[in-house]
Structure 1
Amino acid sequence: MFAAAHVVADPWRAAAEAPAAVDWEATLAFRRHLWAHGLGVAEAMDTAQRGMGLDWPAAAELIRRSAAEAAACGGRIAAGAGTDQLTRPPATLAEVTAAYEEQLALVEAGGAQPVLMASRALAALATGPDDYADTYDRLLRQVRRPVILHWLGPMFDPALTGYWGSTDLDAATETFLAVVAARPGAVDGVKVSLLDAGREVALRRRLPPGVRCYTGDDFHYPELIQGDDHGFSHALLGVFDPLAPLAAEAVRLLDHGDTEAFRARLDPTVELARHLFAPPTRYYKTGVVLLAWLAGHQSHFTMVGGFQSARTLPHLARAYRLADGLGLFPDPELAASRMASLLSVHGVCQ
């Protein structure tokens, strides 16, 4: 089970500074928190604001540092390899492939498991399913260890609309499955972030033997992780960032066969998850960082790129109330004090 982890910004450096201003000490401390609970870390993914404030130079440094930290403490780590160093639209698919190769090399050199992220550059350049199939086949032929393929839906990133060569999700699914079927030995699993539980289950049942399904569905994760008579989904979830202690406890219960206790722990968290990931879904990171601040994992509520302003004050206040109701804050008085200070800055008196 992986938690896709957020990054902690350095509030004293300009939001527009390149590379993105990251507080490395606090960022790595949060990863140690996730590992201590028995979760793997999915690094430099969309939860880390990849493509939304975190540029490639900062992402590369994040991968290097986190991979070294994982090696030192025995933590499991996967890391995103994409094409976001292409700051101008590429002219050819070869440029896209080369960008992927550069990032794959860095992830593999650090000892992290690669996650082949969906590429905005490929989405903009591809003319149909064959372009996706050819690009991914070139990459899968050369990976050193099995990778995770990531299908990120447009609700998380509108620039990925029509990924796999079609806006028809049935047609896109066929292309996606064909890519996996062509090189199953090079694919550890697929991460599906479409927020459609039925579609994920149907896809999961068609994967080749030994290829895992990692759910990225932050709306239906309890039922997908529990599974059915035909299989289950592993987790690679952004919502496991704020839910880490509770989620880890629930998964341990499931590992011991206590499905009722598993659901009793995890089902009540869905209301918070649906709130954090409410449209515009891509701004869910704001709520995640708010909860990390309220829980005492960082000293401020600031995000790279200034995205702390992406959600309304009522949205943030409800996130606090839902998280508090779940007992997510190690120090409830600290959380209450910090939330009160945020409200007071905006002229709201409790």
Structure 2
Amino acid sequence: MESRGWHVTLLQIMLLLVLLALPAAADCTWDSLTDYTFNYEGAYSSQAYKASFKDGEKAPYKCQDGYLPSSQYSGPRILNATCRGDHWEWDARNLQCRQVVCPQPTPIADGKVDPPQGIFREDATVQYTCNQGFTLNGDATRRCQNNATWSGNDPTCEQRCPEPKPLPHGEIKTNRIYEIGAIIIYVCDDGQRSSATCGEDLKWRPEPPSCTDTKRQTVALPPSPPLPTTTTTTTTTTPLPPTQCSPLPSPTYGKLFSKDGFRINASVFFTCDEGYALHGPAKLVCQTTGIWDPAMMPTCTAPPPWIIILSVCLAVLASLVLCCLGFFYFMRRRRRSTPPPRNYRRQIRKPGPYDAISNDEVARLGKPLPVTSL
């Protein structure tokens, strides 16, 4: 009985030794997946949900933040690595991660960008500013995004008047367009109205009006001495509705026409002198609110210099062509009308001695046919 028990114990020990001798099935680890990135430019990160993976399990991986696949790679952004025993099997071994670098920022006309050039990695920023007399239209700050592009759009520098300052005891009516020729309306609380135009010097002319405070405080004296107190009352003046719009000046190198003046519902027309072009609306209408529509004063500008030069050259060329044609016509008429000289006689050719020789005779002579001279 003891011998049988001894055999069972010995069998268990031998089985345990056999199991220990067998190689343990190793799992794939997340560290071994990331360690494999030495074959690539850059590093990888992923949404790992555990530290080890069994055979056949998959782990997603992608380029780290701040890196993008190289231009030679056209596969999916997120790949899967499959655990095969104790090693990983990759979906795409040709994937290369390169650091995100944005292109050089676009230069801005009539302004500058800071810094103008360099290596712009993710989250790098550039600042745009305009020269004196110009206003920035667009984002002043742009950031290098994780897709290697700049945020926003390219800003521009435009000639504009500054935003008008607040009007004490009144308000300013504007459409927020401050380009050259723009019109703003000053409306005082007491009903006074005036307008200002953005000039070519980028200043508002004329100056804003001085509005009076309509909420005046008055002190009423008591009717009898026994009452030592004073009573303070506040009076408010209701502004009257406007009867006309603010007067408009004639544009430089142009004229202004209005049948009804600047009254409500009146129309004002603009024209330019000869050689100048009208830029802006040719007609303004005075609305019932006392504001011109559209709120933009037109301007008269001269044509570009190259158009003037081209016109002069074409005029000179046309004059030369006409002169040449006239000269040739005159010479031709003169040649036809000139009589021949007095001793002029028309030479009539007389028959020569060889005129009656046939071709056969010439061939027998073996000599060329002589030319009869006059």
Please give the TM-score of this superposition, normalised by the length of structure 2.
Answer: 0.18
Q: Quick check: which one's helix share is greater?
A: 1
Greater fraction of residues in strand: 2
TM-score, normalised to structure 1, is 0.18
Which protein, 1 or 2, shows the higher relative CO under an 8 Å CA cutoff with sep ≥ 6?
1
